[in-house]
Amino acid sequence: MSDKVEQVTLTIDDVEVTVPKGTNLIEAAAGAGAEIPYYCYHRHLSIAGNCRMCQVEIEGMPKLQIACNTGAAQGMVVRTHGTSERVADAQRSTLEFLLINHPLDCTVCDQAGHCKLQDYYYEYNSKASRFVDNKVHKVKAEVFGPEVVYDGERCIVCTRCVRFCDEVTKTGELAVLNRGDRAVIGVSPGNELDNPLSGSVVDLCPVGALTHRRWRFNTRIWYTGEQDSICPGCSTGCSAKVYVRDDKIVQVKGRLNTEVNQEWLCDEGRYGFERFQPKARLSDPLIRKGEYLESTDWGEACKAGAGLASADGQDSAMFLSPFLTLEEV
């Protein structure tokens, strides 16, 4: 029996693309150079299909379909907002509904600058709200656990965080409470969000509903530099993204690497970066003189290191930090 995956060719915004049969249209569109906006979809979580932002028009179907839960098929013709005014209008309406009860507090929101709601509003809507009634008020700054704070008014109930705790950590601390425009995310009674990957729910949140307790109001994203890195906390070597301001690490996030850590990062790796800050690191070589280690220059350090060559093998030892990378060793 052949293990070869069947390939299909479809057309997305007048561009032909060939993908494995069943690939969802969000991923297929990326191969055709078309972006389909979404909130609830994540490639490493189950399909929820509740944000309705990823609607597309498929030739032969009377209604718009959600791209996250529609698989690619041979000969399919798909149109996104780029070539279909019907799709563009549906996405504008979806954004308008999401913003009905959303607070206008981008200026004080930690997610400002890398918020999907903010980005998509400018790209797909940019219209003044027609809503004139009072907004629904929900819980603010609710502590979910040692590391995470929740803002119910900013939440769009995409359920990424709920699915993450159900499917990845399998701890099930979070759930959707209430219904309709009163729906919020809550911690199950008697529990708190305290699993080893709890900080990953903040990375997953497409808006500013979930934030880090220790990093709240720390810095703005546009003041930071971004660098791809590897977490040295253990032998897994998770891919990470490091944010730096004034030569200091201000935040660490998980980075997509399907073969290693998918997109998750444990709390130890995420919050344990203080040991890499300038104050915690050695800036000069040290030589032991008697009972104490004394700072010296690299010339003296190299001479001392060369002296080890004359030592008998049984009388010498070398100690390496477990946090060194392979390149440093």
Q: For residue 96, with 0-12 CB atoms within 10 Å meaning exposed, 13-18 middle and 19 or more buried, which class applies?
A: middle
What's the confidence (pLDDT) of residue 141?
92
Does residue 13 lie within any of the structural domains? yes
CA distance 159 to 169: 15
- For residue 135, give both structure tokens: 């907004």
Does residue 325 lie within any of the structural domains? no
* CA distances, 169 to each of 126, 191, 217 (Å): 38, 15, 28
Does residue 33 lie within any of the structural domains? yes
The CATH number of residue 55's host domain is 3.10.20.740
- For residue 31, give both structure tokens: 């191969």
Task: Please list the alpha-helical segments (H only) found in the chain.
Answer: 25-31, 85-99, 116-120, 160-167, 200-204, 267-271, 298-306
* Together in a domain, 28 and 73: yes
String of DSSP letters for 182-202: G-EEEEPTT--S-STTTTHHH
- Domain assignment of residue 257, given as a range: 222-276
pLDDT surpassing 80 at residue 66: yes
What's the confidence (pLDDT) of residue 327?
61
Who has greater pLDDT, 14 or 128?
14
Instruction: Report the pLDDT averaged over residues 107-128.
Output: 87
The CATH number of residue 252's host domain is 2.20.25.90
User: What is the pTM (predicted TM-score) of this model?
Assistant: 0.85
What's the confidence (pLDDT) of residue 3?
67
For 225-238, the pLDDT digits (tens) are 999 999 988 888 89
pLDDT surpassing 90 at residue 203: yes
CA distance 135 to 284: 58
Who has greater pLDDT, 278 or 232?
232
CA distance 312 to 309: 8
* Together in a domain, 240 and 299: no
pLDDT surpassing 90 at residue 280: no
* Together in a domain, 242 and 294: no
Label residue 326 by pLDDT band (50, 70, 90): low
